Structure 1
Amino acid sequence: MKDKTSEGMDTDSDVYRTLLESTRAIPWKIDWQTMQFAYIGPQIEALLGWSQDSWVSVEDWAQRMHPEDRDKVVNFCVSQSRAGTDHEADYRALTADGRYVWIRDVVHVVRNEDGEVQALVGFMFDISERKKTEQELVRLQKELEELSFKDGLTGLANRRMFDSVLSLEWSNARRNHQPLSLILLDIDYFKQYNDCYGHLQGDDCLMRVARILESAATRARDFIARFGGEEFVLILPETDAQAAEKVAQRCRTLILDAGIPHESSESLPFLTASLGVSTIIPSHGDEPGEFVDEVDRLLYKAKQEGRNRVESLV
């Protein structure tokens, strides 16, 4: 016959187990010497579909883990446990019907009086919804970053992206002693175009010009951006002055040949553009901002000289 003390302990044990098994967290215990499950909560079957008695050893735990997660998580948990360090691990657990559920294991290391690891106890939590939210936030963040470098109207890169790419190509050109060319393009009499046809038609015009410029730059590293307003810019890495001049002339010709009506133009009854182009092999004393200013001055000269022309130093 049990005494009152042992009866009380049994009652306490039953209470603790009832509390544990009534939560959504899944309690478990592993004997460190045998690497066998001493206990795992019955909630495991509802979550993963595997029966409670099928969790015999840590091998069952490891084999029911996504192959991409297995080595990393197992090695981490073993090393932390050996060191006697409490830890957490996130991984994808295989369900009995072949799906994967995101699990977070929270592990406490139990030591004996000699300080040796005796057991691991912990809880499994279903964090699938949290992971879905995290992944969606990552996707949205990536989309936001992409949008922050893209012009919303034309779909081309924007000024911010231009600054980043120019800085990168500038460093490459200086390091490899290669020519770097830049073209600035401005649509002629664009204010008058908007006044004549309206801003919606003006937006359509900008989008058409963007597509024309994309067809003019044929190499993978050629970079096109909307510089601002009706201005566009092309970065041509490893392109000498003569080749850059040809690209600029091709841009000008393609825009003219598109035959976009422009009744308010003071030069031709079709849309035209003025371009400035220059080439540099950057040295340590040169600055990209000064180079852009130089090309901008050439663009201004092209407009002053009558528009629908390319101005360069060639």
Structure 2
Amino acid sequence: MTDSNVYRTLLESTRAIPWRIEWATMQFTYIGPQIEELLGWKQASWLSANDWADRIHEEDRQKTVEFCISQSQQGVDHEADYRALTSDGDYVWIRDVVHVVRRDDGTVEALVGFMFDITERKQAEEKILQLQHELEVLSYRDSLTGVANRRMFDTLYPVEWAKARTSGHPLSLVVIDIDYFKQYNDHYGHVQGDACLRLVAQSLDSAASRSQDLCARLGGEEFVLLLPSTDAATARSLAERCRKLVGQKEIAHARSGVGRLVTISMGVGTIIPGDQDDPSVFLDRIDRRLYQAKSAGRDRICDVEA
């Protein structure tokens, strides 16, 4: 067996797919027969660089072709990951490792390389990214009630504050506290207390129904609604809707000081932030209104300073 036949046998016995393209004609002078098993396209159908480009997934085609041409023109060896189309309409992730063959005068003579099937690796990477995304979502979600948590509120509040200051649109906050919740827990137990928190959270979340609205649990029995582009009248109306929705749940509370059902108290405020305004000061102001509502008898809304 000649040396060339030995080399060909070695190349064609690997899982990697060898190939060569002449730079002047952009024609394949060789591609390994493994290409047919991997992609389904006949070995003889790989005639030119256009056949290679046409068999790249349309979402990857332009950037891959432009990158490879640019690198090759500069005589730079390179690698490219892309989705190659199979003959039956599916795709396989390919890593193309390209070596630029140059003449003595530095001009490009040919491109040679290997195609590797990296589908399993890509699927594993995508699974990891998916899991990372799910963990990130969970890190912003209150595990008990399913609404956003304090971390999410602390992240979005300054963003919405800055947007309101720039746009001149009103920003509203509603801070909510479940009335006599300690007495509820003491009487019914923490399992029932957790169920109560979930029911209240569902009511509040359904009231803040726009995609830009945020319902978050600040901690314990305290919640907040972050309402971008919401004026004072609308915020007050939404707070009243929250109070009614919680009432409609008819959650029994034998130790409440304001009736026999679970109720909520709320502080409400609206601002068009100016350069001198501070988001933490505004939040403190709404907290004070909440405690004014509680001091005034609970099961009510306070939207003005005492």
Shorter-normalised TM-score: what interval?
over 0.9
Q: 1:308 to 1:84 in 2, by over 3 A?
A: same
Shift of 1:220: 4.1
Q: Which amino acid counterpart does residue 18 of structure 1 have in structure 2?
A: T
- Please state if 1:169 is matched with 2:150: no
User: Mean Cα displacement is larger for which, 14-23 or 76-85?
Assistant: 14-23
Q: 1:129 to 1:240 in 2, by over 3 A?
A: same
Q: Which amino acid counterpart does residue 185 of structure 2 have in structure 1?
A: N
**Which residue of structure 1 aligns with residue 259 of structure 2?**
268
Q: Which blocks of at least 5 consecutive residues in structure 1 are unaligned?
A: 1-9
SS of residue in 2 equivalent to 1:38? strand
Q: Which of 37, 46, 55 lines up with 2:28 in the alignment?
A: 37
Report % sequence identity. Answer: 62
- Please state if 1:291 is matched with 2:282: yes
Matches within 5 A, 1:131-210: 131-210=122-201
**Which residue of structure 2 aligns with residue 253 of structure 1?**
244
CA-atom RMSD in angstroms: 1.9
Q: 1:236 to 1:56 in 2, by over 3 A?
A: closer
Answer with 1 or 2: which has the greater Rg. 1
Q: Which of 92, 95, 110 lines up with 1:119 in the alignment?
A: 110
Q: 1:37 to 1:240 in 2, by over 3 A?
A: closer
How many residue pairs were aligned?
305
Distance, in Å, in 1 between the alignment partners of 2:165 and 2:82 is 46
Q: 1:27 to 1:229 in 2, by over 3 A?
A: same
Distance, in Å, in 1 between the alignment partners of 2:41 and 2:228 is 59
Instruction: Render the CA deviation track for 1:258-284: whole Å, top value 9, x for unaligned.
Output: 321011223311111111112222111
Shift of 1:71: 2.1
Q: Which of 20, 28, 32 lines up with 2:19 in the alignment?
A: 28
| Length-normalised TM-score, structure 1 | 0.90
Q: Which blocks of at least 5 consecutive residues in structure 2 are unaligned?
A: none
Q: Which of 26, 47, 68 lines up with 1:56 in the alignment?
A: 47
| Length-normalised TM-score, structure 2 | 0.93
Shift of 1:82: 1.0
Contact 2:253 2:260 (C-alpha < 8 Å) held by counterparts: yes
Shift of 1:125: 0.2
